[in-house]
Amino acid sequence: MHVELVTQLIINGLLLGGVFALAALGLNVIFGVTRIVNLAHGQIVILTALTCAVIFQRFGITPIEALPGALIGGAILGTLIDRFLLRRLPEHAQTRETTSLLITFGVSYFLIGLSLAIFSGDFRSVAYLTDSWHIGGIDFPKAQILSFAIAIVIAGILAIVLRSTKVGRALRAASQNLDGARACGIDIGRMRTLSFALGCAIAAASGALLSMIYAYNPDTGSQFTLISFSVVVLGGLGSYAGAIVGAGLLGLAVSFVGFYGNTHLGSMMPYVVFILVLLFRPSGILGKPATT
């Protein structure tokens, strides 16, 4: 039955990758255009997950049904963060990046406090789609399959938007060459807001889906941000396909190392891979260079 086991490990790994990819896509959108790591990213995921848990238990609304609401909520939050906070910064490049980083850090603290105030420290989860399809001796967990599918759909829509629409091309231009884009008459401010809105919307969507897989409380946000950034780096800055591939590889690594090694090593994989990639292949699998 070794083949069955390995197949199961592969499936588990890929599905875990789906979870990672979902979490990372939002960060990638923002980082690609604004070069800002949204440190509040993980907290937005958590906040949405907690909200979905409560409305599921109170009103029976499933996270799938709540998805559109999550997207809209995330978009609004992202827009607010950019327009009211980040816009106020001076244009000087060096300080802007670092200060923006810290502003999102402040926002994450604020969101932790907010989550604690609303939801208390209790762990919450959504008990929906908790079982698997069992086909040919392999288990396909429903919640993870769904997250994976939606991750692909979101990435696909993102890719189409970026490639074919005017707005999408403007976003890509802004992420590739800020000054050049500005010279072409692209409103950089609007692009920033758009990327933030998009990034936070996706983060919220991932929170909704992840609520079915794990249990969260306001304290668990920060690890998400780091893992998401690992995936972004692994896949390559600015490359969405890279992020998906990177997430998949990372998921497989965690799954196999966790099984043949132990769970400690498995859990270390995101960090280890992250550092290794940064040191030896900084452009990631498909992206642009990160070093001088």
| 275 belongs to the binding site for another protein (CB under 8 A) | yes
**Cβ at position 165, least distance to another protein in Å:** 28
Among 72, 89, 167, 183, which residue sits at the site for another protein (rule: CB under 8 A)? 89
If the CB atoms of residues 6 and 72 are measured against another protein, the closer one turns out to be 6
Contact set for another protein, span 212-271 (CB under 8 A): 213-220, 222-223, 226-227, 229-230, 233, 254-259, 262-264, 266-268, 270-271
The contacts of residue 201 (CB under 8 Å, 6+ apart) are 26, 70, 71, 72, 74, 75, 78
Which residue number, 120 or 165, has a Cβ lying nearer to another protein?
A: 120
| Residues 211, 216, 220, 223, Cα dihedral to 10° | -40
| 234-267 CB burial, b ≥16 within 10 A, e <16 | bbbbbbbebbbbbbbbbbbbbbbbbbeeeeeebe
Q: Token pair for residue 20?
A: 């990672």
Nearest distance in Å: CB 158, another protein: 21
Q: How far is the CB of 182 from another protein (least distance, A)?
A: 20
The footprint of another protein on residues 17-46 (CB under 8 A) is 31, 35, 37
Q: By rule CB under 8 A, what count of residues binds another protein?
A: 87
Q: Tell which one of 90, 136, 179, 185 touches another protein (CB under 8 A).
A: 90
Binding mask 107-146 for another protein (x = CB under 8 A): xxxxxxxx-xx--xxxxxx-xx-xxx-x----x-x--x--
Window 151-210: residues binding another protein (CB under 8 A)? none
Smallest distance, Å, CB 166 to another protein?
A: 29
Our finding on whether 66 is near another protein (CB under 8 A) is no
Q: Locate the DSSP E strands across 6-146.
A: 132-135, 138-141
Stretch in the footprint of another protein (CB under 8 A) among 61-69, 96-104, 162-170, 191-199? 96-104
DSSP run (H or E) holding 178: helix 178-183
The structure tokens 């998921």 sit at 251
Distances (CA, A) of 16 to 23, 72, 214: 11, 25, 12
Does the footprint of another protein cover residue 278 (CB under 8 A)?
yes
**Coil, helix or strand for 93?**
helix
- Whether residue 289 contacts residue 283, with contact meaning beta carbons closer than 8 Å, is answered with yes
Q: Which segment (64-72, 106-114, 172-180, 200-208) binds another protein by CB under 8 A?
A: 106-114
d(C-alpha 203, C-alpha 40), whole Å: 10
